[in-house]
Chains A and B, each alone.
Chain A
Amino acid sequence: MKGHHKLRVWKKVVVLGLDGVPCSLLNSFIDEGVMPNFARLKEEGTLCSMTVSIPEVSSTSWSTFMTGVNPGRHGIYGFMELQKENYSWRFPNFNDLKSKTIWEIAGDHGKRSIVLNIPSTYPVRPLNGMLVSGFVALDLKKASFPEKLYQYLSNIGYRLDVDAKKASKSIDEFTDDIMQTFRKRKEAINYLYESEEWDLFIACITETDRLHHYLWNALDDSFNPYHDFFLNFYRELDEFIGTFYSKIDLSIPFIILSDHGFTGIKKEIYLNAFLREKGYLRFTKEHPATFEDIDHSSRAFILDPSRIYIHLKGKYAHGYVDEDLYEILRSALREDLLSINVNGEKVIKEVYFKEDLYSGNFFDDAPDLVALPYDGYDLKGSITKNDLAGNSNLTGGHTRENATFYINQKINCDNINIIDVGVIVLRLLGITKGNLEGRPFFLDS
């Protein structure tokens, strides 16, 4: 067995997800002394900026992480879809994920996994190990596998998610909820880490994303009444990461990742209002409530955040656009979208065609075009807005760049994308990537 002594004996991996945490924010907090534990982690390992899936939303990004394939293969393009036969909403969930997850693949190799709060894992699918679903999770029972895990979680008063509705009523109640949910999350993570046997341990903190959405404006403004709350939250997060890291055996790879970056919102951009103004989209009512009110002569529409669909004949019940006009229409839409201008600034950085981004068995379900904005412009698929641009009580929005990747080893970060991370995890567990798309680049020799 020559040469085999070089292989790691411990084929275990620990992954911590930090929903919506930008790499640049961690670097600033390290420099400013807000995150002394992370400073130590950075010294011992590698912290680098990562790009994520398009569109840059949690459901798509985490699904790409957990499957190691692009949305054309895993099938999750966003939080909502339209039913082609009647234009009513449909909300893809974990059952709609078309590829195996890394913990299911690990399970096939006899490895046991503990998975907690990764978004888009509701309702649970059975696995070799334990799983607590993440956002959007409705019912704790359907969010826990096996049954005995449900007993434990309900006993400790575990919270599936922050009630972000509170932010519209009272920020104090919202920040309280963030802390309570975060503390229950930590309790469950620590308990499962210590009391269970595992080969792969994956847990995710989502309170970060909720905080950023509503209080991003408090980050750089020391006069903002919630500035201290923002910093104190990160101090507590840092303490948690430090303590958690100290429990992990030095020989075990420890990965931290986020599913997108974050930035301040200058303006929300309501792309459907733009399509209506340009005549691409019409509704049968002046104030449409749902896409069921769409006028059949519409040529295109947009679903959150920036997925553009051509209203094709034969594809939708009342499709309007002939197949042979598809390419012309796509080019026209791209040109129009790139021309959007707010207060003298360009809004859209890039418009992709579906074949630029996706491939696989579920390519047909992909949006026909996807727009990517310049930082500061938050693209929205709302149909209730009449103006092109506006503001809401959300002050932070997602970015495709500047997501976080960390590992407790010195490596060269070679243009890492979130699709690589699941495959890296499998490789570290001693499992070859098979037909997955991610590149375990620093492990290739």
Chain B
Amino acid sequence: MTEKGKKEMSSRGLEEKINFSKNIIREAIERFNDRLVIAWTGGKDSTTMLWLYKTTCAESGKPLPRCLFINEGDVFPEILEHVDAVKKMWEVQIIELKNDDVLNKIKQIGDIVKVDDLNERNKRELEHIGFKEKEFAFEPESFEGNHLMKTVPMKLFIEDNRIEAVSTAIRWDEQEARKEEVYLSERNNPPHTRVQPLLHFRERDIWNTIHKYKIPCCSLYELGYRSLGARCSTHKNSDIPAWKQDLENTPERVGRGQHKEKIMEQLRSLGYM
């Protein structure tokens, strides 16, 4: 899509955006049926996406696709509570994925994992991303941690269950790297289609949808979190509820990606901390 087209899409009214997303969802379900799964993190975007699926399915009399919930090893208890509540309310079928091989080797964030102790698949995956060290400090959202804890379980699930499509709730305005994304995006390793029906939603649209349709949302947002990741690497952006913050002029993901162990290691080597 051209830059102009994207701008035009993003500037439409809320109902128009919702309908556009529902059309994408309807087509995706038509095409992939039960070979489509929804990636649900419990965050505001993917919960809004799940609501869109639920509404679309109810309208067309189709069953709600299964949801993948990836436990990367440090989930906020508030997210688990929220996921559990929504699961019961909307009768969602959830498949929880995690990398047990890594999780069995650690007790807490920062524990050292020796690459030699990992199973062959995990070793191969580390090699694949060019990780050459003999060990690493466990952090779910570091470069290698993110790959092992999120990407690998997802890959395995897709391979083992002949999944053809995974729906994710990424948005164009979320971060620079997502600006080039398209609604249906073909992936190679393993081969599958990414369905991305929320690309044109702005952060503000998500909150407007949640409030207008009373979609349940995780309690952390009210405390000031704007974007949720692993507990150890996510912090509040402010002390006021996410939707009351200056969404248009302050970055959404400031509270994310605090790879504390790695940063501390570098700071310590120069005499800090």
Contact = CB atoms under 8 A, between A and B. Distances in A.
Contact of B258 (A85, A91, A209): A91
A138 B260 contact: no
B63 interface: no
B145 to A, nearest CB: 12
Contacts of B269: 163-165, 167-168
A210 interface: yes
A432 B111 CA distance: 52
Interface residues of A, number: 36
Contact of B272 (A80, A83, A96, A167): A80
Contacts of B262: 138
A79 B271 contact: no
Contacts of B142: 138
B258 A80 contact: no
B151 to A, nearest CB: 15
B270 A213 contact: yes
A377 to B, nearest CB: 13
Interface stretch (B118-126, B158-166, B196-204, B249-257): B249-257
B259 interface: yes
Is chain A's interface secondary structure helix, strand, loop, or mixed overall? loop
B85 interface: no
A249 to B, nearest CB: 33
A47 interface: no
Contacts, number: 60
Given A138-B262, A380-B271, A382-B273, 9 more contacts: A83-B235, A83-B236, A91-B263, A91-B267, A95-B253, A138-B143, A138-B263, A145-B176, A213-B270
A401 interface: no
B271 A136 contact: no
Interface string A158-171: 00010111011000
B11 interface: no
A394 interface: yes
Contacts of B272: 79-80, 304-305, 381
Interface centre among B176, B236, B269 (most CB of A within 10 A): B269
A378 B263 CA distance: 21
A79 B267 contact: yes
B143 A394 contact: no
Nearest to B257: A123
B257 A136 contact: no
A160 to B, nearest CB: 10
B264 interface: yes
Interface centre among B236, B259, B260, B271 (most CB of A within 10 A): B271
Interface in A204-218: 209-210, 213
B30 to A, nearest CB: 34
A83 B234 CA distance: 11
Contacts of A168: 269
7 contacts: A79-B272, A80-B273, A83-B235, A91-B258, A91-B267, A164-B269, A213-B271
Interface in A85-134: 85, 89-91, 95-96, 123-124, 126
A90 B271 contact: no
Is chain B's interface secondary structure helix, strand, loop, or mixed overall? loop
B95 to A, nearest CB: 30
A139 interface: yes
Given A380-B271, A394-B271, A91 B143 contact: no
Contact of A90 (B235, B267, B273): B235
B266 interface: yes
A188 to B, nearest CB: 19
A195 interface: no
Given A96-B254, A138-B143, A138-B263, A85 B273 contact: no
A135 interface: yes
Contacts of B181: none
B265 interface: yes
Contacts of B264: 89
A136 B266 CA distance: 7
A171 to B, nearest CB: 14
A381 B254 CA distance: 25
B260 A91 contact: yes
A16 to B, nearest CB: 22
A392 interface: yes
Contact of B251 (A95, A210, A304): A95
Nearest to A397: B271
A89 B270 contact: no
Nearest to A209: B270
Contacts of B236: 83, 85
Interface in A380-411: 380-382, 392, 394, 397
A135 B235 contact: no
A80 B260 CA distance: 10
B266 to A, nearest CB: 5
Interface in A392-440: 392, 394, 397
A414 B143 CA distance: 47
A145 B251 CA distance: 18
A138 B258 CA distance: 11
A158 B26 CA distance: 47
B139 to A, nearest CB: 11
Contacts of A136: 263, 266-267
B254 A95 contact: yes
